Amino acid sequence: MKRAVLLSLVVCLLAGTASATEYGARAGVSLSPDQFHIGGHADLGLVTDSLRLVPNVEIGFGDNLTLIAVNGDLIYDFPNTPWSVGGELGLNFSKYDFGNLSNVPGFEVDDTSTDFGLSALGNYRLVLDSGKTLLLEGKLGLVDSPDFKITVGWNF
């Protein structure tokens, strides 16, 4: 838990120092685990010519599991297109619901886990007339992350 607090503090500090920060909300579904997730993100803008840093937090519900993911996305924007690809390093906190099994005498269950996850991602960003950004994103879990995740986001 101390790691999560420290990581969250670092993300907040980075968000406060970036001049082109855009904040947004996100929601979507994942496969394996089969979940609905909601969360928020901070698009910190360009760190190099075409690379953006986008930390985000998501909470997933379903499949007898609650998953809290604290992620750092590094995204490459293809020039003159709305398409991007990138990678995600995340810290995943899982709490399992074993139902009645956790009450059985002698049956010891560790119902929580913390793992580092790694995913590949692709997204499409549509800039609206209002200047807001609509995002459609797909993620492929490579290590200790949901197998596939699709997310819709909106920058305020």
Residue with tokens 């492929």: 140
Q: Specify the CATH number of the domain 2-155.
A: 2.40.160.20
pLDDT score for 10: 52
This prediction's pTM: 0.81
Mean pLDDT of 117-139: 96
Asked if the model's pLDDT at residue 138 lies above 90, the reply is yes
